Chains A and B, each alone.
Chain A
Amino acid sequence: MIEIRTHGRGGQGAVIASEILADAFFREKKFVQAFPAFGVERRGAPVVSFTRVSDGEIRERCEIYEPDHLVVLDPVLIETVNITAGLKPGGWIVINTNRDMCGSGLCETFRVATVDANSIALKYGLGSRSAPIVNTAIVGAFAGATKLVGLPAVLEAIAEFVPVRKENNMKAAEEAFKSLIVASKR
Chain B
Amino acid sequence: MKKVIMGNHAVSYGVRASDVRVISAYPITPQTQVVELLSEMCANGELDAKFIAVESEHSALTACVGASAAGSRTFTATSSQGLLLMHEIIHWAVGARLPIVMSNVNRAVGPPWSIWTDQNDSLSQRDTGWLQIYCESNQEVQDTIIQAFKIAETVMLPVMIVLDAFFLSHTFEIVDILEPESVRPFLPPYRPAKKIDVADPHSFGNLASPSEYFELRYMIEKAMEDSREVIKRTDKEFEERFGRGYGVVKPYRCEDADYILVTSGTVASTTRAVVDAMREEGIKIGSLKVRVFRPFPFDEVIATLSKAKRVGVIDRNISFGHHGIFYQEVKSALYGRTDVPVTGFITGLGGRDVTPPVIRTIAEKLIKGTNLEPDINWIGVKI
- State the A residues within 8 Å of B (CB): 19, 22-23, 26, 31-36, 38, 40, 58-63, 65, 160
- B259-275: CB near A (< 8 Å → 1, else 0) gives 00000001101101100
- B107-138: CB near A (< 8 Å → 1, else 0) gives 00000000110000000000000000000100
Which residues between 238 and 275 of chain B lie within 8 Å of chain A, taking CB atoms? 266-267, 269-270, 272-273
Q: What's the Cα separation between A55 and B173 when bound, in Å?
A: 14
Quick check: is B56 within 8 A (CB to CB) of the other chain?
A: no
Q: What's the Cα separation between A26 and B164 when bound, in Å?
A: 23
Q: What's the Cα separation between A32 and B116 when bound, in Å?
A: 22
A62/B171 in contact, CB under 8 A: no
Q: With A19-B172, A33-B172, A38-B166 as known contacts, state yes or no: A62 contacts B272, CB within 8 Å.
A: no
Count of interface residues, chain B, beta-carbon cutoff 8 Å: 27
Beyond A34-B172, A60-B273, 14 additional contacts (C-beta under 8 Å) are A19-B172, A22-B173, A23-B4, A23-B172, A35-B171, A38-B166, A59-B269, A60-B269, A61-B269, A61-B270, A62-B354, A62-B355, A62-B356, A65-B355
Q: What's the Cα separation between A105 and B308 when bound, in Å?
A: 53
B174/A32 in contact, CB under 8 A: yes
Which residues between 251 and 304 of chain B lie within 8 Å of chain A, taking CB atoms? 266-267, 269-270, 272-273
**Residues in B whose Cβ lies below 8 Å from that of A31:** 174
- State the B residues within 8 Å of A (CB): 2-4, 115-116, 136, 164-168, 170-174, 266-267, 269-270, 272-273, 351, 353-356
Chain B nearest Cβ from A18, distance in angstroms: 8
**Residues in B whose Cβ lies below 8 Å from that of A33:** 171-173
B4/A26 in contact, CB under 8 A: yes
Q: What's the Cα separation between A59 and B351 when bound, in Å?
A: 18
Q: What's the Cα separation between A23 and B2 when bound, in Å?
A: 11
Q: What's the Cα separation between A62 and B168 when bound, in Å?
A: 10
Chain B: CB-nearest residue to A51: B172
Chain B nearest Cβ from A77, distance in angstroms: 22
The majority secondary structure among interface residues of chain A is mixed
B167/A62 in contact, CB under 8 A: yes
B273/A38 in contact, CB under 8 A: no
Q: What's the Cα separation between A62 and B117 when bound, in Å?
A: 12
Chain A nearest Cβ from B237, distance in angstroms: 24
**Residues in B whose Cβ lies below 8 Å from that of A19:** 4, 172
Q: With A59-B273, A60-B273 as known contacts, state yes or no: A34 contacts B353, CB within 8 Å.
A: no
Q: With A26-B4, A61-B136, A62-B354 as known contacts, state yes or no: A38 contacts B116, CB within 8 Å.
A: yes
Listed from nearest, the 5 A-B pairs whose CB atoms lie closest are: A61-B266, A35-B171, A38-B166, A59-B273, A34-B172
Chain A: CB-nearest residue to B354: A62
Chain A nearest Cβ from B171, distance in angstroms: 4
Find B166's partner among A34, A35, A60 (CB 8 Å cutoff). Answer: A35
